[in-house]
Chains A and B, each alone.
Chain A
């Protein structure tokens, strides 16, 4: 008990030095949590993808459309439960900084293929009834203070003109890993106007999301879909939703990798800072350790004393950092445009990694001073002049 007290007293013998080290560790843990969170949200789409969903897009590129008529053909393939078309609309809501996904969808099937977007039956029925109705995610509703019945006016860019939508539903994500920032409206509303204003672009969609009955048959069904449209004017490429999301990430994979490395480099830097603090502390106490050894304290006591002191500092720094990480990450999430990172929260694995890092730093930082303290002979310790 007294040794524990001595450990705490030692840790705060140099209050300024210890406080600065604790703050340093806290800042490192905050930076680590923030970077890990950014890495996590980049991968969120991949992690949230469903094993029983396939994505069919144009074989050449995602930017080329597919005929809407493919839907019925895909639907007839053995193993396919349901296919739903989706089309990227984009447009400008309020101004160009207000970014979130706006998609033209089939109201009859989209929420069956994407059950993670939870919408009440009444809202879904209303969405189906009205041509210019839309459903928005709860995060978008909160951000723009939108309610059922409100009008959302979007200036089209890919599809020019003024587009008015009535909010008829607000979906809730199944859990916090699901994006709550999307807007869905009826494809027919878009298509009818295209038929009237630019018929060449009508009856085309961006991609199909296909719900399959057995995830183990995804490769087989993908091959069947693509075979079906082989040698047509719009050949397809079908892959699992996970592979599709990973394809998006490949463009920024270098950045994600760099962020990943950076988060661990930060931990490495703070390891050196704490190690330096501990080396200084242990060096100053060389005579005291000699006294303790003289009095009969053994190696295990010194290990407890030195490693304990290091752990006290690292745990306090890590705890403070973790505590502050939540408001900092939250504030960062609020500060960036909502659509950029639709899901922005600290994952449990980030907390586990931060705690593990703090504890590891505490242990590793004490190794050198421990070796020094244990290997110094008592007589040399008494001769030591710091």
Chain B
């Protein structure tokens, strides 16, 4: 299979006060289409930074990142925003749902940037929420849902636009074991049944074991 993500010689450092802190050093990485990759490593190893670069929410200092043949390192902020809305689904550790919107409205949010009609949007949202098993919780607000349910809404929001890749940053980090297993099962299903390419950052070996490939980072280097 062809690589859908091609990370080549990227460097990234952050400025902290007067200090430049190197985070990633000449990282190169290929992710095959339909692959489920787990990025592991201790805190500060640069795994979330690498995920952010692949997802186009941060830019490398050097190197190129090709996602489905687009060098996203060369895109402007507005081009990146548009690219993300079409190509990437995000799942965060703390769900990051909008508290004043219902589950339905949260999932519908990315679709507001498309040209879909209200009816079409509704169909997509219902399908996504059904896929994550929350079709009966559509009108619930985040505070009326459990952590696991919130994360499932977040996954529904991530897949509703049918993105090329799904990036997940510690998706089970804030959940109990049962909910974590449900979420991992859901991610596995998205990968196996819906052929979604998934890049997941995790500390949890159990979570990482669900992935096809595990890569470890340490002090900014792939090991």
Which residues of B sit under 8 angstroms from A294, Cβ to Cβ?
55, 57, 84, 90
Contact with B along A1-28 (1 / 0, CB 8 A): 0110110011001000000000000000
Find out whether the CB atom of B78 lies under 8 angstroms from the CB atom of A298.
yes
Q: Is A377 an interface residue (CB 8 A)?
A: yes
Given A6-B101, A13-B100, A287-B96, are A295 and B109 also a contact pair (CB < 8 Å)? yes
Interface residues on A, range: 20 to 34
Contact with B along A250-291 (1 / 0, CB 8 A): 000000000000000000000000000000000000011011
Given A13-B100, A294-B57, A296-B113, are A2 and B105 also a contact pair (CB < 8 Å)? yes
Q: Is A379 an interface residue (CB 8 A)?
A: yes
Find out whether the CB atom of B58 lies under 8 angstroms from the CB atom of A291.
no
Find out whether the CB atom of B58 lies under 8 angstroms from the CB atom of A379.
yes
In the bound assembly, the distance between CA atoms of A9 and B142 in angstroms comes to 14
Find out whether the CB atom of A9 lies under 8 angstroms from the CB atom of B100.
yes
Q: Output the nearest chain B residue to A12 by Cβ-Cβ distance.
A: B100
Which residues of A sit under 8 angstroms from B96, Cβ to Cβ?
287-288, 290-291, 382
Q: Is A378 an interface residue (CB 8 A)?
A: yes
Q: Is A64 an interface residue (CB 8 A)?
A: no
Which residues of A sit under 8 angstroms from B101, Cβ to Cβ?
6, 9
Q: Is A128 an interface residue (CB 8 A)?
A: no
In the bound assembly, the distance between CA atoms of A293 and B84 in angstroms comes to 9
In the bound assembly, the distance between CA atoms of A13 and B98 in angstroms comes to 11
Find out whether the CB atom of B110 lies under 8 angstroms from the CB atom of A295.
yes
Which residues of B sit under 8 angstroms from A288, Cβ to Cβ?
96, 98
State the majority secondary structure of interface residues on A: helix
Q: Is B92 an interface residue (CB 8 A)?
A: yes
In the bound assembly, the distance between CA atoms of A13 and B113 in angstroms comes to 24
- Identify which of residues 28-60 in chain B touch chain A, using a CB-to-CB cut-off of 8 Å: 49, 52, 55, 57-58
Q: Is B75 an interface residue (CB 8 A)?
A: no
Tally the A-B contacts, defined by beta carbons under 8 Å: 59
In the bound assembly, the distance between CA atoms of A306 and B98 in angstroms comes to 15
> Given A10, A287, A298, A379, which contacts B100 in the complex, CB threshold below 8 Å?
A10
Find out whether the CB atom of A2 lies under 8 angstroms from the CB atom of B112.
yes
State how many angstroms separate the Cβ of A232 from the closest Cβ of chain B. Answer: 82
Q: Is A114 an interface residue (CB 8 A)?
A: no
> Given A287, A291, A297, which contacts B113 in the complex, CB threshold below 8 Å?
A297
Which residues of B sit under 8 angstroms from A298, Cβ to Cβ?
78, 81-82
Which residues of A sit under 8 angstroms from B86, Cβ to Cβ?
296
Find out whether the CB atom of B57 lies under 8 angstroms from the CB atom of A6.
no
Q: Output the nearest chain A residue to B158 by Cβ-Cβ distance.
A: A295
- Identify which of residues 98-133 in chain B touch chain A, using a CB-to-CB cut-off of 8 Å: 98-101, 105, 108-110, 112-113
State how many angstroms separate the Cβ of B137 from the closest Cβ of chain A. Answer: 19
Find out whether the CB atom of A296 lies under 8 angstroms from the CB atom of B52.
no
Q: Is B214 an interface residue (CB 8 A)?
A: no
Q: Is B85 an interface residue (CB 8 A)?
A: yes
In the bound assembly, the distance between CA atoms of A269 and B106 in angstroms comes to 37
State how many angstroms separate the Cβ of A283 from the closest Cβ of chain B. Answer: 15
Find out whether the CB atom of B108 lies under 8 angstroms from the CB atom of A2.
yes
Find out whether the CB atom of B113 lies under 8 angstroms from the CB atom of A295.
yes
State how many angstroms separate the Cβ of B143 from the closest Cβ of chain A. Answer: 12
Listed residue (B100, B101, B108, B110) with the most chain A CB atoms within 10 angstroms of its CB? B100
Find out whether the CB atom of A291 lies under 8 angstroms from the CB atom of B98.
yes
Find out whether the CB atom of B81 lies under 8 angstroms from the CB atom of A296.
yes
Q: Kindly list 9 other residue pairs between chains A and B, CB separation below 8 angstroms, not including A3-B112, A9-B100.
A: A13-B100, A290-B96, A293-B57, A294-B57, A294-B84, A295-B90, A296-B82, A297-B113, A378-B57
Instruction: State the B residues within 8 Å of A (CB).
Output: 49, 52, 55, 57-58, 78, 81-82, 84-86, 90, 92, 96, 98-101, 105, 108-110, 112-113, 157
What are some 7 contacts across the A-B interface (CB < 8 A)? A2-B108, A6-B98, A288-B96, A294-B55, A294-B84, A295-B157, A296-B84
